[in-house]
Amino acid sequence: MGAPALDVRVVDAPFDPWASMAALAPPSVEDAASAGATAVFVGTMRDFNDGSPVSGMYLEHYPGMTERQLQRIVRESCRRRGVRQALVIHRVGEIRPGETIVLVATRSGHRGEAFAACREILEQLKHEAPFWKKEILPDGGSRWVRSNTAADVVPPAGEDSRA
């Protein structure tokens, strides 16, 4: 088995995760027969957060770094889990409820490593890939999600300055 085939994309327009899955279609019957498991996660924008309605969100990223970190996360997870093929597509920009935010799909010999890599990639991208959420409220206002802000108060001297 050669290096895993990794397809990682950051897109700024709505995409159809199910149509996008065609990119993961096995190139041959032999290839399909040797990879018995495909795991898929599709994350969709909700119309509520913390119990209050939201009418959309703006997802900011750091062009270049976001792609680089996603590539690293997917490459390392596939190597660790022995997964041979992965497809990751992540939206940025203005997103409306019901639109897909992220697709993570992994193909492998068996379900164990396909599920494991799919979940690991998702969890790591949530915590390590530079994306920041700003909610758009029904009244037209907007606010950064609190966990995506650096600080509300200046820390006292001597306190650790890194999260």
Partner 1 sequence: MRVRVRFFASLRETVGAAGREVEADGGATVRTIWDLATDGREPPSRLLASINLDYADLDDPVGEGDEVAFFPPVTGGER
Of residues 16, 31, 47, 128, which one binds partner 1 by CB under 8 A? Answer: 128
Q: If you count them, how many residues does the chain have?
A: 163
Contacts of 14 (CB under 8 A, 6+ apart): 91, 99, 100
Is the Cβ of residue 84 or residue 135 nearer to partner 1 in the bound state?
Answer: 135
Is the Cβ of residue 2 or residue 63 nearer to partner 1 in the bound state?
Answer: 63
Distance, in Å, from the CA atom of 139 to the CA atom of 160, rounded to the nearest integer, reads 38
Is the Cβ of residue 30 or residue 50 nearer to partner 1 in the bound state?
Answer: 50
Dihedral (Cα; 134, 71, 40, 107), 10-degree rounding? 180
Question: Could you tell me the smallest distance in angstroms from the CB atom of residue 33 to partner 1?
Answer: 34
Residue 30, H or E segment: helix 29-34
* By the rule CB under 8 A, 40 interacts with partner 1: no
Which chain residues interact with partner 1 by CB under 8 A? 59-60, 62, 64-65, 68-69, 123, 126-134, 144-145, 147-151, 153-155, 159-163
